[in-house]
Amino acid sequence: MKGQIRVVVERDGKVTLSTEGVNGPQCLNLTEFLERGLGDVVNRQKTRDFYKSIRLSQRNHINQQDLSR
């Protein structure tokens, strides 16, 4: 899996993780080891890239169903 993780640690200790180069739920897999090590996730904001892969998967699934009829 290719991709990069950006880690920002603020002065108050708050840590923000973001990913680049991955779409869909793969970003969650990419950051899972850091989330486990850092503690509880307080907030998760899914970007447009997260939903991009899901829409493509749904579209492909619909097209495959149409072909099998």
**At CB < 8 A and 24+ separation, what contacts does 55-58 make?**
57/24
- According to DSSP, residue 34 is labeled H
Give the tens place of pLDDT for each residue, 41-67: 888 888 888 877 655 545 554 544 445
CA distances from 25 to 51, 54, 66, 68 (A): 8, 8, 26, 28
The answer to whether the CB of 26 falls within 8 A of the CB of 53 is yes
Alpha carbons 32 and 41: distance in angstroms, whole number: 10
For residue 37, pLDDT beyond 80: yes
State how many domains the chain has. Answer: 1
Structural domain for 44, as ranges: 4-67
* 8-29 confidence digits (pLDDT tens): 999 998 999 998 888 888 888 8
